[in-house]
Structure 1
Amino acid sequence: MSLKQRDKKHIWHPLTQHKLHPESIAITKAKDCLLYDEDGNEYIDAIASWYTCMYGHCNNYITRNVANQMQQLDQIVFSGFTHEPAVKLSEELIKILPKNQNKIFFSDNGSTSVEIGIKMALQHHSNKGDKRNVLIAFEDGFHGDTFGAMSVSGLSVYNGPFEEFFITVERIPTPNGANNTEVLNQLKSIIENKKVAGFIYEPLVQGAAAMKMYNVRGLEDILEYCKRNNIITIADEVMTGFGKTGSFFASNQIDIKPDVICLSKALTGGLVPMAVTSCSQQIYEAFYSDDMGKGLFHAHTYSANPIACTAALASLELLRSDNIQNNIKTIIASHQAFGERIKAHSKVQSIRQTGVIFALDLNIKMERYGNLRDTLLNFFMSQGVYLRPLGNTIYIQAPYTINQKQLDKVYKSIEQALEII
């Protein structure tokens, strides 16, 4: 019996309606930018497996470091204990995070890193005797699948059955340059009339909203006003972090820095799950007290797992290497050239790019998970390319190790797809 047949007996896959999609492709091996299935087919992973394996699958440097760590220390409770990989990782992260960040809180996935950021914002005010119960978030944002993260997410396709259980959130549009004043006035009105604890945002690019990119100046106006009103700003860099926007973090490209930053996905190069929520010293000090109840009571069994910390340390070394930085520049230039070539196509409505993130919108209406979207996904797979359209948006976010021949194959598959729809 094949793997995909055995899979159907017991496994419930994420983001899958199994009555419509009864089978999953069985991947037996992955190396660098390539995936291999049980039938011997080969695919270029053009989305780095949901933006995680940015240094390629089974990267030799990462796996070698992790293998060594596995012989030294595998797992230890992180309440009351510490260890070298965690301490070293905190030091290395602080070196490249925005300068106002000073404390690192470890967890295990992107949704949870956001959950912790939300808790930091709400409890920060509570600890200071200023109870606030409202958060502000952008429309169409996505921050994860746990209840706090769902509450601040604006995509009802994911959240519909649970919305009556959410914490209180006010939503504002993303600024686009033309509506900046209107958005800022809406923000001001909410702050004047509600007890707002924090503002959460995906800086520069909203990933699940089909790589929606928005105006930096408008975001800076929002952040500046939040800072003036003692509202905690939370940058969700789970998707954008670690080089994808052309800088180490998208927040590096914004003058006003967040109080809290949420990180995961590429943190460990895709090898093992891990997340981090960083914050400024000011945030930390609101929890520093003789009162035990004012501490941040959030814990994970695998917090700061030594193996995950080691994978993250190796990934950071690769990110800062000349080789990866040069590759990032090459990918950015290649995307720009492809965009110039494709933007006038009759079936392309628009293109956009931030760093290595490239997206194009088709001038065809499509459901987010509809038949035409599935047709496109299946076509790409038949061409040996793994691209996962978001509705009528086709996007590329390939590993930094992708070569030009592989990139050209990705571009060609998109151009061929335009001829079949």
Structure 2
Amino acid sequence: MTKIWHPFTQHGLGQTIPKITRAQDAILYTQDGREIIDGISSWWVQTHGHCHPQIVAAIQQQSAQLDQIIFAGWTHEPAQILADGLAEFLPKSLDHIFFSDSGSTAVEVALKMALGYWHNRGEQRHHILVMDHSYHGDTIGAMSVGARGVFNQAYGPLLFDVSAVPFPKPDAVQATLDALTAACRDPDNRPAAFIVEPLVLGAGGMLTYAPTILAEMRNICSAHDVLFIADEVMTGWGRTGTIFACEQAGIEPDILCMAKGLTGGVVPLAVTAATTPIFDAHYSPDRSKMFFHSSSFTANPIACAAANANLEIWRNQPVQKRIDHIVQRHAQFAEQLQRYDSTTNVRQCGTILVFEIADSHGHYMSTLGPELLRFFAEENVLLRPLGNTVYIMPPYCITDAQLSRIYTVVEAAIDEFA
């Protein structure tokens, strides 16, 4: 029998891999009859819940009408409706939409846009600035602008060099801002762009920082003519409490990447949104200045239809009220977590609640991670710790009873492993 090679899974540990047969709202149903509460939105993608009837209906209808068409030199209605609809949710300055198929690809597109912008203007600026502990995906360019370490050490020869500014820890914010300023001012290596995860660094440990810091970093880049790329692949579509995290800082990036929740987390689709100057740098009768990027499934009509249904849900259903309720419940549970001697760095950003269980080897490769994963699975809760970092990021449809069950299981894990 052919063996499946699962992502981010060390098969040598011999862990059991449950088979999911169906899903509805915040519940996953296994082949052996269990009901699992999805506490991480199935890897941060599900927003409104599994098999949302409105999104399912849109996919069914579109798949019977137009399933796929080349997007180079051709177009279709679902893509145009989506581009127009996104204008309601994005800053007005981000008025050009480029479709792709995943978060990593959206980042690759953003980096190529930035380099193409300077190249077509006749300026050889190709250096990228990043933040320590960041993660932007698993393709080569996305890995290059992420933190170097266990995620990518085997692939080091493929990665290009970047300059990193320190993560803005509460007692060292000015050091981060000073480092960014110095890097932007470097006359010998003028940066093309600075890419950042707004407010929350996801796979880097769910590290959080304040909107005021994000605003300051944007101001520094603007003052020194460095493009500002916001990677909202994880933070977008309500995760931080607002539709996009940049809203909380009152900023408009030059380029914004989104994926995951764009279709409600149902099918793959990504967007890289850019300003007019970036588009205009590629606009020319000279074909050599076109933007050289595509994938076979760019703007797939079925995926666009799912995204359009997602936008309709945001327009017509009380999504923000659901988000606000999760935010409130998380805040109450955060107070409870603070009482444990073995929990550290309890933090919250919107619907994301995070803490560490004290561990002498506290990092992504902590041996506590697989033990916690097993414990949660046995308790019929899908939580996937980042080492000893435990986070809860549920779909917005989750019920009070389901949230309470997650909280109960988390407390049981603290008692078990502290």
Interval of TM-score (by shorter of Structure 1 and Structure 2) = over 0.9
Instruction: Flag the 1:367–1:233 CA change in 2: closer, same or farther, 3 A.
Output: closer
Structure 2 counterpart of 1:140: 133
User: Whole-Å Cα distance in 1 between the matches of residues 3 and 317 of structure 2?
Assistant: 45
User: Whole-Å Cα distance in 2 between the matches of residues 243 and 83 of structure 1?
Assistant: 28
Structure 2 counterpart of 1:37: 30
Q: Are 2:185 and 1:189 aligned?
A: no
1:64-90 Cα distance to aligned partner (Å, 9 max, x none): 111111111111111111111000000
Counterpart code for 1:292: R
Q: 2:169 aligns with which of 157, 163, 176?
A: 176
User: Mind listing any 5+ residue stretches in structure 1 that lack a counterpart?
Assistant: 1-5
User: Whole-Å Cα distance in 2 between the matches of residues 345 and 331 of structure 1?
Assistant: 22
Structure 2 counterpart of 1:240: 235
Superposition pairs of residues 6-25 of structure 1, within 5 angstroms: 9-21=2-14, 23-25=16-18
Q: Are 2:261 and 1:266 aligned?
A: yes
Q: 1:384 aligns with which of 375, 380, 384?
A: 380
Counterpart code for 2:190: K
1:147-166 Cα distance to aligned partner (Å, 9 max, x none): 11000000411111122322
Structure 1 counterpart of 2:284: 289
Structure 2 counterpart of 1:105: 98
Look up the SS of the partner of 1:253 in the other structure. helix
Look up the SS of the partner of 1:157 in the other structure. coil
Deviation at 1:294, TM superposition (A): 0.9
Structure 2 counterpart of 1:64: 57
Superposition pairs of residues 224-235 of structure 1, within 5 angstroms: 224-235=219-230
Structure 2 counterpart of 1:252: 247
Look up the SS of the partner of 1:162 in the other structure. helix
Q: 2:214 aligns with which of 219, 234, 248?
A: 219
Percent pairwise identity: 41
Deviation at 1:370, TM superposition (A): 4.0
User: Whole-Å Cα distance in 2 between the matches of residues 157 and 56 of structure 1?
Assistant: 32
Q: 1:122 aligns with which of 92, 109, 115?
A: 115
User: Whole-Å Cα distance in 1 between the matches of residues 174 and 264 of structure 2?
Assistant: 39
Structure 1 counterpart of 2:411: 415
Counterpart code for 1:362: I
Task: Determine if contact 2:185/2:224 at 8 Å carries over to the other structure.
Answer: no
Task: Determine if contact 1:141/1:155 at 8 Å carries over to the other structure.
Answer: no
1:169-191 Cα distance to aligned partner (Å, 9 max, x none): 10011223432322222122223
User: Whole-Å Cα distance in 1 between the matches of residues 31 and 318 of structure 2?
Assistant: 33
User: Whole-Å Cα distance in 1 between the matches of residues 347 and 316 of structure 2?
Assistant: 27
Task: Determine if contact 1:135/1:170 at 8 Å carries over to the other structure.
Answer: yes
Q: TM-score, normalization: structure 1?
A: 0.95
Instruction: Flag the 1:344–1:36 CA change in 2: closer, same or farther, 3 A.
Output: same
Task: Determine if contact 1:34/1:45 at 8 Å carries over to the other structure.
Answer: yes
Counterpart code for 2:60: A
Counterpart code for 2:410: I
Look up the SS of the partner of 2:129 in the other structure. strand
Q: 2:21 aligns with which of 28, 38, 43?
A: 28
User: Whole-Å Cα distance in 1 between the matches of residues 284 and 192 of structure 2?
Assistant: 20
Deviation at 1:135, TM superposition (A): 0.3
1:390-418 Cα distance to aligned partner (Å, 9 max, x none): 11111011000000000000000001111
Structure 1 window deviating more from structure 2 (384-393 vs 182-191): it is 182-191
Structure 1 window deviating more from structure 2 (156-165 vs 233-242): it is 156-165
Q: Are 2:360 and 1:362 aligned?
A: no
1:198-243 Cα distance to aligned partner (Å, 9 max, x none): 0000000001112100132222222112112221110000000011
Structure 2 counterpart of 1:375: 371
Look up the SS of the partner of 2:320 in the other structure. helix
User: Mind listing any 5+ residue stretches in structure 2 that lack a counterpart?
Assistant: none
Q: TM-score, normalization: structure 2?
A: 0.96
Task: Determine if contact 1:267/1:275 at 8 Å carries over to the other structure.
Answer: yes
Q: How many residues are matched?
A: 414
Over 6 Å off, 4+ runs: none
Q: Are 2:389 and 1:396 aligned?
A: no
Look up the SS of the partner of 1:197 in the other structure. strand
Instruction: Flag the 1:22–1:375 CA change in 2: closer, same or farther, 3 A.
Output: closer
Task: Determine if contact 1:175/1:215 at 8 Å carries over to the other structure.
Answer: no
1:366-391 Cα distance to aligned partner (Å, 9 max, x none): 45244321111111111111111111
1:69-116 Cα distance to aligned partner (Å, 9 max, x none): 111111111111111100000011111012221000000100000000
User: Whole-Å Cα distance in 2 between the matches of residues 370 and 347 of structure 1?
Assistant: 16
Instruction: Flag the 1:115–1:239 CA change in 2: closer, same or farther, 3 A.
Output: same
Structure 2 counterpart of 1:80: 73
Deviation at 1:138, TM superposition (A): 0.3
Counterpart code for 1:318: I
Counterpart code for 1:38: Q
Structure 2 counterpart of 1:280: 275
Structure 1 counterpart of 2:297: 302
Task: Determine if contact 1:61/1:314 at 8 Å carries over to the other structure.
Answer: yes
User: Whole-Å Cα distance in 1 between the matches of residues 350 and 181 of structure 2?
Assistant: 31
Look up the SS of the partner of 2:291 in the other structure. coil
Task: Determine if contact 2:200/2:207 at 8 Å carries over to the other structure.
Answer: yes
User: Whole-Å Cα distance in 2 between the matches of residues 270 and 219 of structure 1?
Assistant: 26
Counterpart code for 1:73: L
User: Whole-Å Cα distance in 1 between the matches of residues 212 and 242 of structure 2?
Assistant: 18
User: Whole-Å Cα distance in 2 between the matches of residues 265 and 330 of structure 1?
Assistant: 22
Task: Determine if contact 1:343/1:351 at 8 Å carries over to the other structure.
Answer: yes
User: Whole-Å Cα distance in 1 between the matches of residues 413 and 57 of structure 2?
Assistant: 39
Task: Determine if contact 1:31/1:57 at 8 Å carries over to the other structure.
Answer: yes
Counterpart code for 1:176: K
Task: Determine if contact 1:32/1:401 at 8 Å carries over to the other structure.
Answer: yes
Task: Determine if contact 1:349/1:363 at 8 Å carries over to the other structure.
Answer: yes
Task: Determine if contact 1:66/1:311 at 8 Å carries over to the other structure.
Answer: yes
